[in-house]
Amino acid sequence: MTDASTTAPSASPHCQDGESYRLSLPNTARSAGIARHFVTSLLTGTSHSGIVEDARLCVTEVVANAHRHSRTSLIRVHVTVSPERVVVSVADDTPWAAPAPGRIRTGPAQECGRGLMLLEELALAWGSDVCGCCTPSHKAVWFTLAADARVAA
């Protein structure tokens, strides 16, 4: 998505009517692969089977970013599956936000920012939240996927 108007508000949009699943991972190089398998197992054989590959790519990139760019001890993955959509958020204990949706600019030779470009292209909506009120304690990068891209964010 490149149109920021279709991106959901900055608050993590976990659905109230869906099933929620959580996974806490140590901050290791293996975490992205484990998160990828976790999301695959949740979506395979459901009405969201058609977006499994997009979900795998997006969660891999976001978890890999948390591993690469933070010193957090735990990476937390929260997945909500509702009939209309899937919302995934990845939290770490580093309280700075990712670039805003619609503002990602990378060139062919740049390494940084490519994972977020995947979110721009594949997700119905995505964003980041800094959590912890007056004393920020962590951030979460989230994305929403829907089998039917016409579903409103």
Write the CB contacts of 3 (distance below 8 Å, at least 6 apart in sequence).
Answer: 102
Q: Is residue 152 part of a domain?
A: no
pTM for the predicted model, two decimal places: 0.79
Q: Is residue 131 part of a domain?
A: yes
Round to whole Å and give the CA distance between 95 and 108: 29
Q: Residue 52: what pLDDT? A: 96
**Which residue positions in the chain have pLDDT lower than 70?**
1-16, 95, 97-114, 132-137, 149-153
Write the CB contacts of 15 (distance below 8 Å, at least 6 apart in sequence).
Answer: 80, 82, 84, 85, 87
Q: Residue 115: what pLDDT? A: 72
Q: Residue 60: what pLDDT? A: 96
CATH label of the domain that carries residue 96: 3.30.565.10
Q: Is residue 60 part of a domain?
A: yes
Give the chain's domain count: 1
